[in-house]
Structures are given as structure tokens and as C-alpha cells.
Structure 1
Amino acid sequence: MKWNLRLVAAKRGIWKAGELRELLAAEGMEISAGKMSKLWSGDPASVKLAELDVLCRVLDCAVGELLVPAVPRHSEFTKNEIRSRKM
């Protein structure tokens, strides 16, 4: 999965992590600067469902906009998958 927070936020005119952090706090989601940095940088170790709920509410988006399927690189396909695609 690919974490797409910055793009979703930018589409809504939010360009800085601090701006989003303030909006989240106004909705009752107090998060540390470190956690916000991880969310913003695109490398969160984990995201709780309650956090996703608040993020979606603040950004007026669906979970599918924040979490998008990553396209596998060619090297990630197994030999069997490659063979079956050729048929």
C-alpha cells in the first residue's frame, strides 16, 4: 500500500504538516510532532483506525484516497505469474 496523505492534503489546500496537525487537534486528535512527521513524510509505521477516521473527516476524503494499492515492480512478480500472463 502507498500512503498518500500529502497529495490528499495538498488537493485541499493544506501544504504544511503543522497546518494539518492543528486541524486534527481541533477534531480531538492530539498527535506528537514525531508521529505527524512520519504521517507527513509518507512512512508511518502504523495508523490506527481511529486516526484514519479523523484524517478522513478533516480532509473530507475516503480511506481509499489515503491508502492506495502500490503497483508491484516487475522484479516482484514470480516466474509463475510472468508465465501465466504470457498465456
Structure 2
Amino acid sequence: MRWNLRMKAAEQGIWKSTEMRRRLAEAGLEISAGKMSALWTGNPTSIRLDDLDVICHVLGCEANELMIREPDKVTARRPRKTADNTTVGAPTVTPRLGRNRTLPPA
């Protein structure tokens, strides 16, 4: 996913993060300068749904307009199979050997 906040804000005439932060505060969402910077400059690792709802309200958009799918990145992450049907890039799973477990008491 690619975060599209700056483009959606620009479409509404919001060119600076401080202006966006002020409008969010007017709508009832107080965001710290650090969190606003993270939302404005990059892809946030997480965002509360309540916060996303206020952002969408301020920008007059839907959540899917703020997040753009990147299917090529998903395809690139998928492990590849070779001619002999082995998987390239997949982790090897090794079973752990340990004591046998007993059944719980009846």
C-alpha cells in the first residue's frame, strides 16, 4: 500500500502539514507534531480507525482514496518455484524435537 495523504490534501488546497493539523484539530482530532510529520511525509505503520475517519471527513474523501494498492509489490514477495519444484526464497521449516506430551487429566 502507498499512503496518499499529501495528494488528497493538495486537492483540497492544503499544502502544509501545519494547516492539515489545524483542520484536524478543528474537527476534534489533536495530533502531535511528530505524528503529523509521520503521516505527512511517509507511510504510517499504523493508524487508528477513528483517526482515519476524521482525516477522511476533513479531506472529503473515502479511506480507499488515501491508500493506494500496489499489486506488483505483492507479486514480488511471493516465493518462486524452480524447474525441480523447489521453492526459492521460502524459509525452511524444521520440526523441533522434544519430549512427548502427555494427555491432560480426565
TM superposition score category, shorter chain reference: 0.7 to 0.9
Aligned-residue CA RMSD (Å): 1.5
Matches within 5 A, 1:2-21: 2-21=2-21
Aligned residues: 80
**4+ runs of 1 displaced by more than 3 Å?**
73-78
Which entry has the higher C-alpha Rg, 1 or 2?
Answer: 2
The Cα of 1:42 is off from its aligned counterpart by: 1.8
Unaligned runs of 5+ in 2: 82-106
Number of the residue aligned with 2:71: 71
The TM-score with structure 1 as length reference comes to: 0.83
Q: Distance in 1 between matches of 2:31 and 2:43?
A: 16
Higher relative contact order (CA 8 A, sep 6+): 1
- Report % sequence identity: 49
Number of the residue aligned with 1:50: 50
The TM-score with structure 2 as length reference comes to: 0.69
Larger helix proportion of the pair? 1
Unaligned runs of 5+ in 1: 81-87
